[in-house]
């Protein structure tokens, strides 16, 4: 589900305008100079252990790489946080900076050709994402409606996309995202034949860890949908048993920030997976950066939570195949 793109569009109604705090504070004041010096030394040593900051965009913005090791589990039920971002827009680099500052994992699904007026990020952008520990996933060659493709075109869109990305990155690409979430049994079979480990849909309001790895759902999109939009999304998911259970979450759907926070708090209490997905160009066009900061600040740095990429989640052993 994807809104039409309009440059200069005014912010959606009901958007929370509170500005989130970006990055980590190093300005706490100490009364004694020696204590301040000790704190500064400790921070410097920590930065050396993590590694030097990496530039992620042409404006000189910096990002601290996330820790490669997930936090230890200290909650009664497994709690996983994962994020994914589609289309390979250059603004993905701004998303990466925000995630890295908060030690959040992310999977960036990149088509070979851009599917909207703006150019897709170049190879150096992909390599920058990869060097920071983010996952690169496939998103087709030209972002088509895959169920409408014949066998030859479907193979090209799925298998050729994987090979092209692997040649650019010099490593395996194991995850696929269906363009606009559209898929059927024929498309899933093509993804399996291409040797992908899993594939992500655009089904929302999910928080369960039992799902088909080739039909990975999400919890919420970083975009202000209406309740009717969510209802239509549930009906097209094809899983009517779970759709009935997710209908109870619709009352919170009027504001995507509140919905995202409510779903995360429920996962923290009961276990499961919280999956945020979105499009960086959409976030930029609709001025949703502050809303996004509020959400990711709320879910980051929680003891016992596993912060995983989509591929790490599929391979983690936490997923119970539905």
Count of the separate structural domains present in the chain: 1
Q: Is 46 among the domain residues?
A: no
How remote is the C-alpha of 150 from its chain's centroid? 30
> What local confidence, expressed as pLDDT, does residue 117 receive?
72
The predicted-structure confidence for 163-183, as pLDDT tens digits, reads as follows 999 999 999 999 999 999 999
Residue 225 lies in a domain: yes
pLDDT at 234: 75
> Is the pLDDT higher at 249 or at 84?
84
Question: Using CA atoms, how far apart are residues 322 and 278, in angstroms rounded to an integer?
Answer: 25
62-63 and 54-55 beta bridge pairing: antiparallel
Rounded to an integer, the average pLDDT of 269-284 is 97
Distance CA 191, CA 247 (A): 30
pLDDT in tens, 232-258: 877 776 555 555 555 555 555 569 999
CB 52 within 8 A of CB 262: no
Coil/strand/helix, residue 84: strand
Is there a domain that residue 30 lies in?
Answer: no
Residue 48 lies in a domain: no
The percent of residues above 70 in pLDDT, for the chain, comes to: 70
Structure confidence at residue 41 (pLDDT): 36
Range of the domain at 283: 78-315
């Amino acid at each position: 589900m994807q809104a039409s793109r309009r440059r200069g569009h005014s912010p959606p109604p009901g958007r929370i305008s509170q500005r989130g705090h970006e990055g980590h504070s190093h300005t706490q004041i100490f009364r004694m100079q020696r204590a301040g010096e000790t704190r500064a030394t400790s921070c410097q040593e920590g930065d050396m252990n993590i590694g030097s900051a990496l530039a992620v965009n042409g404006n000189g913005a910096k990002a601290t790489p996330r820790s490669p090791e997930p936090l230890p589990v200290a909650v009664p039920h497994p709690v996983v946080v994962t994020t994914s971002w589609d289309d390979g827009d250059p603004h993905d680099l701004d998303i990466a900076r925000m995630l890295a500052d908060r030690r959040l994992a992310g999977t960036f699904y990149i088509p070979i050709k851009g599917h909207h007026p703006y150019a897709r990020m170049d190879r150096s952008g992909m390599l920058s994402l990869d060097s920071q520990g983010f996952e690169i996933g496939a998103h087709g060659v030209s972002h088509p409606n895959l169920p409408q493709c014949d066998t030859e075109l479907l193979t090209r869109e799925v298998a050729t996309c994987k090979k092209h990305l692997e040649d650019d990155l010099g490593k395996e690409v194991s995850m696929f995202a269906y363009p606009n979430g559209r898929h059927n049994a024929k498309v899933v079979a093509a993804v399996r034949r291409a040797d992908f480990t899993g594939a992500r849909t655009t089904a929302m309001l999910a928080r369960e860890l039992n799902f088909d790895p080739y039909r990975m759902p999400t919890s919420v999109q970083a975009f202000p949908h209406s309740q009717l939009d969510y209802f239509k999304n549930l009906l097209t998911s094809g899983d009517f048993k779970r759709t009935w259970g997710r209908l109870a979450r619709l009352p919170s759907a009027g504001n995507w920030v509140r919905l995202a926070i409510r779903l995360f708090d429920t996962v923290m209490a009961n276990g499961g997976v919280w999956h945020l997905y979105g499009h960086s160009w959409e976030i930029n066009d609709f001025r949703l950066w502050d809303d996004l900061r509020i959400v990711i600040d709320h879910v980051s740095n929680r003891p016992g939570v596993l912060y995983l990429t989509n591929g790490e989640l599929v391979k983690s052993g936490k997923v119970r195949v539905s």
